[in-house]
């Protein structure tokens, strides 16, 4: 399962997902509690403080974080995660 999250409202996420053609759900973390738990909240003085730092987390079947990705290469990111997911499946 793939989930995305942002600090935007449910409606903002719904519009964004529709505009981008996302085939997965976006979660609204308006109070930033999930963002704080995953350490993706930017410092208050950061010029992009309204946005989460762009990270992905591969979570194993037991609910543990198997890998953390700082997303710099948006185009190649999915391939990297899918390759790691295949290795994780082989290991279990």
Q: What is the tens place of the pLDDT at every residue in 59-80?
A: 998 999 999 999 988 888 989 9
Are residues 46 and 10 located together in one domain of the fold? yes
| Closest CA relative to residue 66, chosen from 46, 38, 85 | 85
Q: Is 68 found in the same domain as 24? A: no
* 3 state DSSP class of 9: coil
Answer yes or no: is pLDDT of 92 > 80: no
Question: Do 69 and 35 share a structural domain?
Answer: no
The tally of domains found in the chain comes to 2
d(CA 12, CA 16): 6
Chain-centre distance of CA 46, in angstroms? 20
**Closest to 60 measured CA to CA, from 71, 49, 52, 68:** 68
DSSP string across 18-45: HHHT-SSEEEE-TT-HHHHHTT-PPPTT
Does residue 57 have a pLDDT over 90?
A: yes
Q: Are residues 47 and 59 part of one domain?
A: no
Q: Which domain holds residue 69?
A: 54-92
């Amino acid at each position: 399962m793939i989930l995305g999250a942002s600090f935007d409202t449910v409606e903002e996420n719904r519009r964004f997902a529709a505009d981008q053609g996302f085939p997965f759900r976006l979660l609204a973390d308006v109070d930033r509690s999930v963002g704080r738990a995953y350490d993706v909240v930017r410092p208050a003085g950061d010029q992009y403080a309204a946005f989460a730092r762009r990270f992905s987390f591969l979570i194993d079947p037991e609910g543990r974080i198997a890998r953390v990705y700082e997303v710099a290469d948006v185009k190649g990111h999915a391939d990297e995660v899918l390759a790691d997911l295949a290795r994780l499946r082989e290991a279990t």
